[in-house]
Chain A
Amino acid sequence: MPVVDIDTDELRGLTGEDKSDEEFKEDLFALGLEYEGDTDDGLLQFEFGPDRLDRLSVEGVARSLRYQYGADRGVYVPNVNDADWTIEVDPSVPEERPYVTGAIVRGVELGESGLESLIQLQEKLHATMGRGRAKGAIGVHDLTMLKGQALTEESEPSGTIDAATADLAATEKTITYRGVDPEGDRFVPLDANAELTPAEVLAEHETGETYADLVEDLDRYPAIYDELGLFSFPPVINGKRTEVDTDSRDLFIELTGTDQWTIDKMCVVLCYALSARGGTVEEVQIDYADGATYPDEYGPELIRPDLDTDEKSVTHDRIETMLGVELEREAVVDLFERSGLDAAYSLGEEETVYDVEIPPYRVDVLHPLDLVDDVGRAYGFNELEPTYPDIGTIGGRHERSRLERAVRTSLIGLGFEDMLNFHMTSAGENYDRMRIDERDTGADLADAPLGAEPRAEITSPYSEDYTQLRTWALPSLVQVLENNTHRSYPQDLAEVGFVAHRDDDVNTRVAEDRRVAGVLARTDATYEDAKARLQAVCDDFDADLETPATEHPSFLDGRVADVVVDGDSVGVVGELHPEVLVDRDMEVPVAAFEFSLSALE
């Protein structure tokens, strides 16, 4: 879950409330932000569900608090100036990352803390909506370091216009989003002192190495140019030339990604945060050139940031039934306004409907239900009196869970200690150390020893100890014995538990079963001890047991039998092979059995 680092002095400044840290913690808990601890720099860390991504910076958190305190009401949309700059999208842009958006914010007062907050917000947006920069990546630049010139051949070179006069220039200024050959250009990236090609950035630069996997398979890499050349290599790193520092006042924001809506929304969250720092938002025009992939739902020419509000309707009845309280209409409108929404209601013939206006930074409102949640939060969920629902239902356990419990009770009565082992294991434990060979997928298992079934394997597992589901339960019990040779004997252990193997004839391709397994580890354990207990369990469930001789590599020849219950071969009983024991430095014999729980049904 996302964590936002908050400087409470900043919070006091931005909310205008002189509250203590403790009071802020309480207020933020009510909003859904849980205090997690302090950073090394003394900032307070709050964790929250990844819905309100506008709260990924102190500015957004402060805005939410101002609504909660009633200092602000209703929808706020910053004023926007007309576009002066255009981002042109060249057909050479790699088709894997076709979309771009942007905005300009002028007159920001960043300072030390504002810059830190901006960097944090970028990182957090990357981690959440941006899906680790794959879906959307942000670059923020010092606008005064950019020089705009149309890429088209007929345009005049505008290299003579310097940054100071750029504001006043009536001519449109252009930057270009395009593809570049991995070795096709050079620029000085952030945190470097030499010019590197994009390919060199991926190979040599620390940030480049981190994000290399996002672009390294592309034929052409994404790149953003102004008149002076390449200044951003999304989604990897910005150029040093346009680096933002504490004195930067005019910012150029660009975002690239795989989904236009997502990067537009990330851009909106940034614009709101910078607007709270005194910035004035200015539109940017996006022109997808002929041949470039443009977003179907918006067309090839866009004006961004898109600060249009959304509207959804919700009925009074839905709000009341969901919260379980009766509310006045005006009170509901008030709660909407204190959530940063605007609402107007109409009294229909049958029901009251609220038309709710939603500001553009709210990426979490997918359905009118989400508006009910906002009303609930503004009302204060913890203000609600819990009630026990007046509903009659009959409780009961699943048949198999009753059977498992009954078998477990029998085993405990016979003196077994009940075990609860992991379902995941490794091939080494499951097969090799039990001296059995795994059968191939699809092979006939009729004559296969218990446990030799093909594995259901985990795709690229982290840990070599947990790479598959166990195909039988005895190896787990033997592992427990191995780990407890320093504990007192006898160790009589049993488990009623899950096993599974690959079977492509099953709908989920994994055949799942429950097994009854037991081990008797003691100085005088013999086949007879295991069979006696097996017999006792079968007798408890009125099951007819036969034990014809068989062979099984995990057991000692001549002391192993098939477990045949009511005519079906369902398992194995015997004395474990000495190799299985000495391999685990065990110094006592072990008699064991395992069979399918279903045999006792």
Chain B
Amino acid sequence: MRLPQAQVALLEAASATDARPIEQLADQTDLKPEAATRAAFDLRDEGLVAVEERVEESARLTDEGETYRDEGLPEVRLFRAAREAGGTVGMGEAVGAAGLEGPEVDIALANYARKGYGVVNSGEVSADADADPDADTEAAALAALATGDAVDDDDVLDRLESRGLVELDERTVRSVALTDEGVTALMEGVEAAETVDRLTPELLTSGEWKDVEFAEYNVEADAPAVEGGREHVLRGMSERVKDVLVGMGFQEMDGPHADADFWINDCLFMPQDHPARTHWDRFALDVPPVADLPEALVDRVEDAHRDGVGEDGDGYHSPWSEDFARAIALRGHTTSLSMRYLSGYADADLEPPQRYFSVQKAYRNDTLDATHLLEFYQIEGWVMAEDLSVRDLMGTFEEFYRQFGIEEIRFKPHYNPYTEPSFELFGEHPETGEEIEIGNSGMFRDEVLEPLGIDCDVMAWGLALERLAMLTTGAEDIRDLHGTLADLEFLRNAEVTY
């Protein structure tokens, strides 16, 4: 019979008459205990050995148990002190004489009467003359355990465990004995098969692999961690958003991060004294003004700001200067790209119908914290067509959010300088069911579209990608999701979404 090396060794070490613990056999055969155990079970499955299992309980003193073994149990000490003082004595005196400190006092009182040492009443401790502290079973058990002797009284052990003075451990001891079949096999002769660790090119080419036994691996054991390359979790969300939008017929826009305020704000009919255009909210750049703007468009935009558009249109009662329009800043929203595309400045003039989108960075001068970043990804999208209605806007956005598990959109009428009607979008959090704001939308105003040369309808919406990502990943700190302060552990552990 050919068996793996470990099994042969174990079989030869085992006895038919005397069941031996596996640990002992492992020692004898120089096998690791796990390997010996595995071999024993394999041999049992072959019917060559019997494995007997027995649960062994052992008890060990805790630190507190050690202390009481040395100094005596608090209740015993209290009894001795009371007896010494004549049988009945004031509590304070007894405690002092017993040398009890801190929690020991309560422990002593809790166990005193239970164990029949006497009574504690009205601040007096009396000692029962019949009680014998030297016969205390708990103290005896502590002493026995300390010297390594076994204690058979389970009640006492349980009591000591509940007092936190001993810790009980259970372990399974397995013993191995040869079966008759095992004895027969040994008598007929058992050979060790050659085991190899790795399948090598030599084994493969020589054909030797046919004659060797491959060492078995513990296939359930943990393997070392591997940190493979992976897409950034926020990038993954951005790619998913792009996929969805491309699938809905949207074309992607691209354009400058640092841009003239004209494209960022003036085209959007944002009055120049709008609070979002003050230096507190925007990142102005310390560079000269933009070199070129389309002059005719600048004039039309200025007219819209000053006098409005259309017969009944009114302008703003706010100052307007081309110098401000020409100043360069980091874009506060990516709607600057929409303006560049709608005006035909980024690419060719556009004829309806069109759908465009971008997922790009915008910059806001804010305080960096768990829910705010100075730079964030804005999802921006717009649809241009003849005669779009508010219902089309609602239908488009419902479809978009449905792709991310957000149903039941509510539309809160809102105000933006550049859209009318405008809506804040609210949806149900897919996990918590809470109603949360998920975007801002509207139909671009005539004051925006007419200067750009658009004479059909354009609806638009925007939201922060990080917000969508926090919703779907459950991230609680936005700084983990995006930026140089990232924790690699968070990124490595983030669940892949798709």
Q: Using a CB–CB distance below 8 Å, which chain A residues touch chain B?
A: 29-32, 34, 48-52, 131, 135, 259, 261-262, 312-313, 321-325, 364-370, 372-373, 376-377, 381-382, 384-389, 391-398, 400-401, 405, 408, 411-425, 456-463, 466, 469, 476, 479-480, 483-484, 487-488, 490-492, 494, 498, 500, 502, 504, 506-510, 512
Contacts and interface: CB of A to CB of B under 8 A. Distances in A.
B252 A417 contact: no
B258 A456 contact: yes
Given A397-B252, A500-B257, 12 more contacts: A32-B413, A131-B275, A322-B389, A364-B415, A367-B309, A389-B388, A398-B252, A408-B231, A408-B235, A423-B363, A488-B227, A512-B257
Interface in B276-335: 279, 283-292, 308-318, 328, 330
A401 B484 contact: no
A210 to B, nearest CB: 15
Nearest to B410: A382
A366 B308 contact: yes
Given A393-B355, A483-B486, A509 B227 contact: no
A230 B50 CA distance: 110
B253 interface: yes
B29 interface: no
Given A500-B258, A508-B259, A389 B484 contact: no
Contacts of A391: 249, 353, 355, 383, 385
A456 B251 CA distance: 30
A126 B361 CA distance: 33
Contact of A322 (B285, B290, B385, B421): B421
B229 A412 contact: yes
B396 interface: yes
Contact of B488 (A131, A480, A502, A507): A480
B375 A31 contact: no
A322 B445 CA distance: 12
B425 to A, nearest CB: 12
B490 to A, nearest CB: 10
Nearest to A420: B232
Contact of B399 (A373, A388, A411, A502): A388
B391 A384 contact: yes
Contacts of A414: 229
B392 A387 contact: yes
Contacts of A415: 228-229
Given A381-B423, A459-B284, A393 B290 contact: no
A324 B232 CA distance: 42
B488 A487 contact: yes
B230 A502 contact: no
A195 B128 CA distance: 88
Interface in B408-448: 410-416, 420-424, 443, 445-447
Contact of B374 (A382, A424, A502): A424
A405 B239 contact: yes
A411 B235 CA distance: 14
Given A384-B394, A460-B279, A367 B310 contact: yes
Contacts of A483: 484-487
Nearest to B242: A397
Contacts of B253: 398
A424 B482 CA distance: 13
B145 to A, nearest CB: 43
In order of increasing CB-CB distance, the 4 nearest A-B pairs are: A49-B415, A324-B389, A51-B415, A324-B391
B396 A389 contact: yes
Given A376-B421, A491-B488, A509-B290, A422 B483 contact: yes
A483 B491 CA distance: 13
A547 to B, nearest CB: 23
Contact of B398 (A324, A386, A488): A386
B222 interface: no
Nearest to A381: B411
B360 to A, nearest CB: 9
B421 A417 contact: no
B274 to A, nearest CB: 9
Contacts of A463: 368, 374
Contact of B422 (A49, A52, A367): A49
Contact of A387 (B231, B311, B391): B391
A572 to B, nearest CB: 20
Contact of A457 (B235, B285, B489): B285
Contacts of B394: 384, 386-387
A261 B234 CA distance: 47
B41 interface: no
Contacts of B311: 313
Contacts of B421: 322, 372-373, 376-377, 381
A325 B389 CA distance: 9
Contacts of B317: 259, 261-262
A416 B230 CA distance: 7
B443 A322 contact: yes
Contacts of A324: 389-392
16 contacts: A312-B312, A366-B316, A367-B313, A367-B420, A381-B421, A415-B228, A418-B232, A420-B235, A422-B374, A456-B285, A457-B285, A458-B330, A466-B374, A469-B257, A500-B257, A509-B290
Interface in B477-498: 482-489, 491-492
A129 B492 CA distance: 49
Nearest to A470: B484
Interface in B354-387: 354-355, 361, 363, 365, 367-368, 374-375, 383, 385, 387
Contacts of B42: none
Contacts of A388: 392, 395-396, 399
A550 B328 CA distance: 36
**Which of A366, A386, A456 counts the most chain B CB atoms within 10 A?**
A366
A413 B229 CA distance: 6
Nearest to A320: B389
Interface in B238-271: 239, 242, 245-254, 256-260
Contacts of A48: 415
B1 interface: no
Contacts of A51: 415
A313 B312 contact: yes
Nearest to A370: B420
A29 B425 CA distance: 12
A380 B391 CA distance: 12
Contacts of A372: 420-421
Given A423-B361, A458-B285, A509-B291, A323 B390 contact: yes
Contacts of A394: 249, 251
B273 interface: yes
Given A462-B365, A512-B257, A418 B412 contact: no
A29 to B, nearest CB: 6
B256 to A, nearest CB: 5
